[in-house]
Amino acid sequence: MNTKFIFITGGVVSSLGKGLGSAALGALLQARGYKVRLCKLDPYLNVDPGTMSPFQHGEVFVTDDGAETDLDLGHYERFTGNPACKSDNTTTGRIYTNVLQRERRGDYLGATVQVIPHVTNEIKDFIREKDGSADFVLCEIGGTVGDIESLPFIEALRQFGNEMGRERALFIHVTLLPYIPAAGELKTKPTQHSVKELMGMGIRPRILLCRADREIDKSDLQKIALFCNIEENKVIPALDASSIYEVPLTYHAVGLDTQVLDAFGIKDAPKPNLEEWERIMRRIKNPEGEVTIAIVGKYTNLNDSYKSLNEALCHGGIANKVKVNIKFIEATLFDESAEDIAEELHGVNGIIVPGGFGERGAEGKIKAAQYAREKKVPYFGICFGLQMAVLEAARHLASITDANSSEFGNEGSPLIGLMTEWTKDNVTEKRTDDTDLGGTMRLGAFPAHLKKGSKVAEMYKENKISERHRHRFEVNINYKDELEKVGFVMSGTSPDGTLPEICERNDHPWFIGVQYHPELKSKPFDPHPLFISFIEAAIAQGRLV
């Protein structure tokens, strides 16, 4: 396979939607029948985003093979349906770790180890190993051109582009045309400067994707083409879309995929089949109703912290033909008072307590679970949300008043305990209290067996599932009988029966907690069964109130 490489850089400002743009272009090429693969280079020094705060960096996306990666990999997976994997994401931290390990091993045979060629070679190897794995490899470079930290990446790509030639390597630069109200116009100068900066580093982009919040005049596009030395029809306007799932359609309408193929000299490409995307957009634009779901979490002031969850809810809405409104509730505000959270939750059609870490906010989340249980509002506990629902049931129904999680210290009854041992791919992994924080959780896809006749088995329509995990603590199986006595049924466990993976209430319309992250596998054209069912229950709840 003569793989072609597309590199996507960003200029002017960050948050231009490079990740989405890359995912949408991937989807368009795929819709033409090509095999695509998407990957991302992140210039920061963290070895992976696993230890980064969701406040700063948004969600950590977990792959089947257990990597903690950048949330853009979630977009890639949702738009193409191809499961992301460990080798789809690297960082400066990872690259340097590899280089330094090699240096210690003596692999460089006494050479002075330098950014060029050793670091740049390591980066090129990361890209080159994808050669042959797809028709098109799309590689996004995080950050903004000109950042000090991304320089080795840009240099490596320059070399790689040179080695491959124009037939096999293409650079797309995403920029912004800011609107200046006083002048009443969009400005092209930052784009010109950004392209100049890229050219100064030896990279000539052949396609420009110009983000703007309004229509761009043809004369502006022509001006950019002239100043930036780019063909006129390859300066492409990329306006804001009404939904992220509209982006493949809007980018196709302005010719992005056509120009990419043209840049590679491909003349006989099949037409794209965009029916699925059109169907999804018809559903999104014409909902037959709406529901409101509360997300009671701790990282509620940054939307990206719960990216996959927001999207999975949207997918559940697509499947049920409703619009899903999300009401974020900051759990930490309610650690003290139960009345206030009841006020906040009043009238919502469903409650989610999502993944989370640490004691702050835990009491607020426990109160949200209690409210959902008592008021019979659909409740979906995801990872930490399951753990908090277990503490709630243990304290209030099973009379284990000191029920606690060892995540919060060693006091009380450890209903939620530290996992010290589990099996992954037939290897036993062991952890203790002193283990490093990075990359040491129970990570990635694990199988679970569902109880016959349980609600979840009905939703999944099978008894054996595989879902992605990211946690250190686990519901303590020793309390199984006490929990089941008060209606909290363990309806899914690890195949050996030792790790509870799913609990559901048998006296409630919809009360399910899962130890894994189902939101990571949901896709617009293949919504996750638990989210389909949860939104269905929320609709039914809406009819009651």
Q: Is 407 in the site for ligand GLN (CB under 6 A)?
A: yes
Longest CA–CA separation in the chain, Å: 75
Q: How far is the CB of 414 from ligand GLN (least distance, A)?
A: 12
Query: Of 337, 331, 285, nearest to 306 (Cα)?
Result: 331
Closest distance of CB 387 from ligand GLN, Å: 6
306 binds ligand GLN, rule: CB under 6 A: no
From 170-178, 299-307, 471-479, 487-495, give the range in contact with ligand GLN by CB under 6 A: 471-479
Write the DSSP symbol of residue 526: B
C-alpha span between 202 and 97 (Å, rounded): 27
CB of 357 to ligand GLN, least distance (A): 4
**Beta carbon nearer to ligand GLN, 68 or 504:** 68
Strands (DSSP E) along 452-508, which ranges?
Answer: 464-471, 473-475, 488-493, 500-505
Bond prior to 414 in cis (omega within 30° of 0): no
256-263 helix and 18-31 helix, angle to the nearest 10 degrees: 80
Q: Is 471 in the site for ligand GLN (CB under 6 A)?
A: yes
338: its two tokens: 């139960």
Cα–Cα distance measured from residue 289 to residue 291, given in angstroms and rounded to the nearest whole number: 7
Which of 383, 394, 450, 490 contacts ligand GLN by CB under 6 A? 383
Q: Does the protein bind ligand GLN through residue 74 (CB under 6 A)?
A: no
Q: Which stretch binds ligand GLN (CB under 6 A): 335-343, 354-362, 452-460, 521-529?
A: 354-362
User: Structure tokens of 289?
Assistant: 């109703």
- Nearest approach, Cβ of 179 to ligand GLN (angstroms)? 40
357 in contact with ligand GLN (CB under 6 A): yes
Which residue from 66, 248, 356, 414 is in contact with ligand GLN, where contact means CB under 6 A? Answer: 356
Q: Does the protein bind ligand GLN through residue 528 (CB under 6 A)?
A: no
Cβ proximity to ligand GLN, 21 vs 355, nearer residue: 355
Is 517 noted as a catalytic residue in this protein? yes
Among candidate residues 383, 474, 482, 503, the one labeled active-site is 383
| Per CB under 6 A, 361 contacts ligand GLN | no
Helices 529-544 and 307-320: crossing angle in degrees, nearest 10, is 70
- In the annotation, is 383 catalytic? yes
Mark whether 392 is an active-site residue: no
Do the Cβ atoms of 39 and 175 come closer than 8 Å? no
Q: Which of 501, 519, 528, 536 is catalytic?
A: 519
- 18/442 with CB nearer ligand GLN: 442
- Judged by CB under 6 A, the number of residues near ligand GLN is 10
* CB nearer ligand GLN, residue 227 or residue 357: 357
Three-class SS of 164-232 = HCCCCEEEEEEEECCEECCCCEECCHHHHHHHHHHHHCCCCCCEEEEEECCCCCHHHHHHHHHHHCCCH
User: By C-beta, is 355 or 527 nearer to ligand GLN?
Assistant: 355
C-alpha distances in angstroms, 36 versus 54, 72, 124, 258, 448? Answer: 29, 16, 19, 16, 30
Does 472 sit near ligand GLN (CB under 6 A)?
A: yes
Of the candidate residues 355, 417, 500, 529, the single one contacting ligand GLN (CB under 6 A): 355
Q: Report strand pairing: 185-186 vs 179-180.
A: antiparallel
Could you list the active site residues?
A: 383, 517, 519
Q: Which residues bind ligand GLN (CB under 6 A)?
A: 355-357, 383-384, 407, 470-473
